[in-house]
Structure formats: C-alpha cells, structure tokens
Amino acid sequence: MVSDFESIDKITEIELLMHYNPKVINRKIKAMRSQIESLYHLNTNYVITNENDMLVSVSYPLDKLVLYMIEEKDKLEYYMKTAQNRLNLFKDIIKNYFKNEQQDV
C-alpha cells in the first residue's frame, strides 16, 4: 500500500531536474549528436604499433559501424520524442500555476 506522500503520480526533484529541464535535455541531445558525429571518424584507417614494435593498420569494420550508427540515431530520435512529450506534459501542468509560480518552477 502506498502512503499519501509516496504517491505514484509524483516525481522526485531529481527527476524533475534531469528529465523535465530543457537545458539538461538540450545538453544531452547535443552530446548524443556529437557522439554520432565522432563515429564517422572510426571508418578511417590508422596505424599503431603492436607489442613487437611492428606497424599495424587498424580500422573499425564498416558494416558494424553502420549498424552502430543507426542504433545510436534511433536512440537519439527516441530520446528527443520522449523529451518533447515530457516537456509538453510539464507545460500542461504548470500552465495552471500563477505566473510568479511558473517562473519559480
């Protein structure tokens, strides 16, 4: 049984700050896009030395790279949709507040 102050409909302050804060959401989207952009450079061959001091050409397999990039783009798209839904829900909730309360939130 759930008590009054542990209602399932309520969220914690941390959840509010992390999942409903536009600045945090935009920062995470920017980081995810940057990570996806950096994946393009993994296709480039580069040379390293192995334990015998021999030069070895290394690159990430293109097929795996493409699949990984698609997965990451899908994750980004999903995050953007859920973040937008959360922001819309948040806006719907605070529109019933007084103007000064909205600014405080």
DSSP H/E element including 57: strand 55-58
What is the DSSP code (8-state) at residue 7? -
Q: What confidence score (pLDDT) does residue 59 get?
A: 81
> Model pTM?
0.72
Q: Which of 68, 70, 46 is nearest to 57 (CA)?
A: 46
pLDDT band of residue 7 (cuts 50, 70, 90) is low
**Taking the domains of the chain in order of start, what are their residue ranges?**
10-96
By CB neighbour count within 10 A (0-12 exposed, 13-18 middle, 19+ buried), where does 80 fall? middle
Convert the pLDDT of each residue in 37-48 to its tens digit: 999 888 888 888
